[in-house]
């Protein structure tokens, strides 16, 4: 009987395909042993397979030249207040809402796949995916196609993998704080016409040593500070 050698993946795409297939098989065979509900298994498997398929297509695709998007003109339809229909993700578009009802929400906790399937075989395949992210082939693919990091970030979040340094997003520059508006200068209060401190004095023609207080127009004149001239003998 001829000997058939075991399958050995060589390229990056083959390694990812082999690891993902083994991981999905382990999830399918261990969910009863671990007491995992079937709807949760279907959601995790659909999410994981969707990200892997997108990653494989992005690795095989040849990226074209970067073309910046032109902003859309503001039309009357875009400014209308009509609600926009929410589009379901690709891994839930085949959900039969008529018979099964709405799909349950997928937990968004970090490493939900690793936490749900707490088994050494699942951890081993996830560690293999984490190792493939640090290989030179994956580094070249990330540098060549900018769509691959956008797929790897949610994949790392799902599997509980710490993203490598090449996947970290640059920090957004902080918006400059607006300068505080200058405090308004309070307007001076209107003068009190009855206040004696705003009067001014003129010399008294009868007695140059004394002065006559002069108040603003409309205020009552007060002569309590005027000295009466002495009578000459």
Residue 53 lies in a domain: yes
Size of the chain in residues: 233
State the pTM of this model: 0.59
Q: Is residue 216 part of a domain?
A: no
Q: Is the pLDDT of residue 188 over 60?
A: yes
CA angle 78/81/82 to nearest 5° reads 85
* pLDDT at res. 96: 53
Q: Is residue 195 part of a domain?
A: no
Q: By residue range, what is the domain housing residue 24?
A: 9-61+104-171
List b or e across 150-182, with b for residues whose CB sees 16 or more CB atoms inside 10 angstroms.
ebbeebbbbbbbebeeebeeeeeeeeeeeeeee
**Per-residue model confidence (pLDDT) at position 196:** 47
Within-domain flag for 34 = yes
Evaluate whether residue 91 is within a structural domain. no
In a domain, 120, yes or no: yes
CB 147 within 8 A of CB 58: yes
State the Cα–Cα distance between residues 39 and 92, nearest whole angstrom: 12
Radius of gyration for the alpha carbons in the chain, expressed in angstroms and rounded: 42
Cβ(34)–Cβ(117) below 8 Å? yes
β-strands 211-214, 200-203 pairing: antiparallel
Q: Residue 209: is its pLDDT beyond 50?
A: yes
Query: Domain tally for the chain?
Result: 1
Summarised one tens digit per residue, pLDDT across range 69-109 is 665 555 444 444 444 444 555 555 555 554 556 666 777 88
- Within-domain flag for 178: no
Mean predicted confidence (pLDDT) in 146-175: 87
3-27 pLDDT, tens digit per residue, is 666 667 778 888 899 999 999 999 8
- The sign of the torsion formed by the CA atoms of 143, 144, 145, 151 equals negative
pLDDT at position 127: 92
Residue 223 lies in a domain: no
Report CA-CA distances (Å) from 105 to 28, 42, 44, 95, 115. 20, 12, 11, 13, 17
Q: What is the pLDDT of residue 94?
A: 56
Predicted confidence at residue 156, as pLDDT, reads: 92
**pLDDT tens digit string along 23-50?**
999 988 888 888 888 888 888 888 899 9
For a pLDDT cut of 70, what percent of the chain falls above it?
A: 61
């Amino acid at each position: 009987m001829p000997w058939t050698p075991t399958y050995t993946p060589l390229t990056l795409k083959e390694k990812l395909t082999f690891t993902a297939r083994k991981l999905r098989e382990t999830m399918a065979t261990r969910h009863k042993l671990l007491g995992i509900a079937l709807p949760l298994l279907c959601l995790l498997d659909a999410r994981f397979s969707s990200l892997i398929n997108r990653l494989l297509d992005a690795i095989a695709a040849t990226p074209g030249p970067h073309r910046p998007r032109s902003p859309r003109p503001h039309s009357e339809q875009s400014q209308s207040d009509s609600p926009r229909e929410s589009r379901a993700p690709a891994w839930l578009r085949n959900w039969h809402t008529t018979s099964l009802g709405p799909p349950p929400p997928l937990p968004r906790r970090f490493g939900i796949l690793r936490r749900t399937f707490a088994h050494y075989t699942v951890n081993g395949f996830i560690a293999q995916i984490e190792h493939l992210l640090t290989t030179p082939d994956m580094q070249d693919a990330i540098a060549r196609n900018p769509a691959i990091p956008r797929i790897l970030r949610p994949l790392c979040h799902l599997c509980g993998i710490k993203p490598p340094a090449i996947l970290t997003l640059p920090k957004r520059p902080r918006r400059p704080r607006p300068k505080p508006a200058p405090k308004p200068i309070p307007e001076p209060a209107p003068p009190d016409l009855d206040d004696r401190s705003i009067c001014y004095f003129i010399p008294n023609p009868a007695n140059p040593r004394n002065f006559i207080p002069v108040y603003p127009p409309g205020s009552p004149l007060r002569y309590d500070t005027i000295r009466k001239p002495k009578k000459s003998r």
